[in-house]
Structure formats: structure tokens, C-alpha cells
Amino acid sequence: MLGNLDNEVIFKKAFTNKIVFTAFVRDILGIEVEVDKIETEKKFEPKIGYIDFELDIFAETIDRRIVIEIQRVEYDSHFDRFLHYFLMLIAEQQKNAKEYNIDQTVYVIVVLTAPYTISEKNGKPILDEVLLIQMNPQTLKGEIRDLYGHQFVCLNPNHPDKDTPKQIRDWLDLIYQSIYNPQRPSLNTDNEGIRKAIELISFENLSPQERAEAKKKEAAKIVLAKTEQHAKQEGKMEGEQEKAIEIAKNMIAEGFDNQVISKLTGLTPIQIDKLRTES
């Protein structure tokens, strides 16, 4: 039985493994990487663009900067938020640069584990399994000039597409089946990275501490879902800040610590402490 890759603890256990990480990057981006350190909950000091954001999984080589982000709940602003992450990871390279050179190519891979509910500006629903942003200029004839190569890739296994390349399909199957068919998954174990990920997230290979932490994350998601459902029923979805405060209040009542609340809501520990004194 597989652990659920919809769970932050399980996801990070799999994708911070170097074999899994490098195989995933190779199959999704088509590049070979060799990394020394894979970080989680990465923050930058000083803050970039006046926003204190945190990245799920971060690694870099001399010439490449790679971020993998898992996002289960589809916030109204999440595409704007991830675009901001992408652009700020590029801009952050300038803090110590004497010139405007951007030495590292930036890659951001976002994994969404819930179906889309958003639409294009023309009202057409977004039902794509793979979405790409490639930051290179092009001519009026559509010829691409390879100056930068920065890429943003958004993956959502809930919208299967027969044209998705097999090497990407293998990973989307892993994510999807770990959530919806964990007991009898049918996966490509010929892929070394997939095989290693299966080994890492198999239930019998999870430590008691990992299982306990995973349960805490699941409980937090349930509180989050209940809060959002209640807010929708009451017509209180007035904005991201109000929603975050309402979620934080419910999580405080359920006994969650500041770190977990901050991770799920984006509120600072100071804001959460203030809510504790008010409750």
C-alpha cells in the first residue's frame, strides 16, 4: 500500500530523495541535473519582492535553480501566486549581482492534486494535464530565441490527456494512484525514479514519526476544507486574508501549532499569536 502523495509529509519524503528528484526533473523537464542539497520549506533572506514566501522543495546547481511545489487546495489566486514565485526566483539572483546577468536557469514544477475549478478569461474551463510557461523571446514568425530558458510547468493528473508524453505520464500516474488507488497501483517500475519513490512511500517503510506527522497534516486539511465549505455556505468568502484568518481560528481551536497554521494559511506567527489572545 502506498502513502498518499497528496500529503505533504509523504510528498517531501519521496521527492527529496536524490534518485527520485533527478529522475523526476529529467522526465518532466528533459534535463539531467546533479544536486548536492535538496531543501524543504525554503525561504530567502532578505525577502524577495516584499513577500515572505516559502518553497516546498528547492535545489540548485551552479547553472540551474529548481523548485518543486505541491498544491492541493486550489486558491483563487494560486496561478498568480506561483507566477510570482517563478519571477521572484529569477529576480532574487540580482541581489548580489553587479550587472544584470542572470546566471542560473530557473525551473518551477507545480503539482496540483485537485481538479481545476478555474476558467480562462473567456469562461472556458481549464482542463489541462500539463501547462507550460517558457520564458524566451520569439519573433513575429513565432521563432523562439533561446536567451533565458526559464520554465514553469504545472501538472494536474486529474485531467488526463492522451498526448501527454509517457515519461511525464508515469509520474502523473504515480501521484494519482497514490491518492485514489494506493492498495493496487499499476505503475511503471522500469523507471528507476518511480521504483525508488514507490519504495520510499510504501506504508510499511514509513516510520512511526512519519505516520504521525502525516496524520497531523491530514487533520489540518480536514479543518481547512470544513472552514472553506462553511464560509461558502455563509457567503463569507470576502478575500484571501479573511479566509486565512478564519482557517487559523479554527485550527487554533483544534490545537494546531503556529508552524502548521502558518504553512496552511500564510499568516505570520505574530498574526497567529494575536488571534490566540483574541480567542
Give the side-chain half-sphere CA count within 13 A for 46: 5
Which of the listed residues 182, 206, 230 is the one where a domain comes to its end? 206
Residue 271 near residue 247 (C-beta atoms within 8 A): no
H-helix or E-strand spanning residue 41 = strand 38-42
Amino acid 100: pLDDT? 65
- Judge if 194 and 227 occupy the same domain: no
Read off the amino acid at residue 95: K
Question: Is 191 a domain residue?
Answer: yes
Which of the listed residues 206, 223, 239 is the one where a domain comes to its end? 206
Amino acid 183: pLDDT? 93
Count the domains in the chain: 2
> Is residue 97's pLDDT more than 60?
no
Amino acid 88: pLDDT? 85
Q: How many residues does the chain have?
A: 279
**pLDDT tens-digit map of 155-189:** 999 999 999 999 999 999 999 999 999 999 999 99
Question: Is 48 a domain residue?
Answer: yes
- Judge if 222 and 187 occupy the same domain: no
Spatial CA neighbour of 170 closest among 154, 156, 189, 151: 189
User: What's the mean pLDDT when you consider all of the chain?
Assistant: 84
Residue 18 near residue 35 (C-beta atoms within 8 A): yes
CA distance 199 to 243: 38
- Judge if 59 and 117 occupy the same domain: yes
Amino acid 101: pLDDT? 66
Residue 103 near residue 93 (C-beta atoms within 8 A): yes
Our CA dihedral for 237, 241, 243, 246, rounded to 10 degrees, sits at -130
Q: Averaged over 234-246, what is the pLDDT?
A: 67
Give the single-character DSSP code of 125.
B
**pLDDT tens-digit map of 102-113:** 778 889 999 988
Question: Is 2 a domain residue?
Answer: no
- Judge if 185 and 261 occupy the same domain: no
Question: Is 1 a domain residue?
Answer: no
Which of the listed residues 206, 237, 264 is the one where a domain comes to its end? 206
CA-CA distances (angstroms) from residue 177 to 75, 151, 256?
Answer: 23, 27, 29
> Is residue 233's pLDDT more than 60?
no
- Judge if 69 and 193 occupy the same domain: yes
Amino acid 228: pLDDT? 59
Residue 255 class from Cβ within 10 Å (0-12 exposed, 13-18 middle, 19+ buried)?
exposed
**pLDDT tens-digit map of 14-65:** 999 999 999 999 999 999 998 888 998 888 776 776 666 788 899 988 888 8
Our CA dihedral for 86, 92, 97, 99, rounded to 10 degrees, sits at 40
| Paired sense of beta strands 55-60 and 130-135, if any | unpaired
CA-CA distances (angstroms) from residue 133 to 38, 79, 101, 251, 271?
Answer: 24, 11, 21, 35, 34
Structure confidence at residue 75 as a pLDDT band (50, 70, 90) = low
Domain ranges, residue 270: 211-278
Amino acid 20: pLDDT? 96
**pLDDT tens-digit map of 211-229:** 888 888 777 766 666 665 6
Give the single-character DSSP code of 127.
-
> Is residue 72's pLDDT more than 70?
no
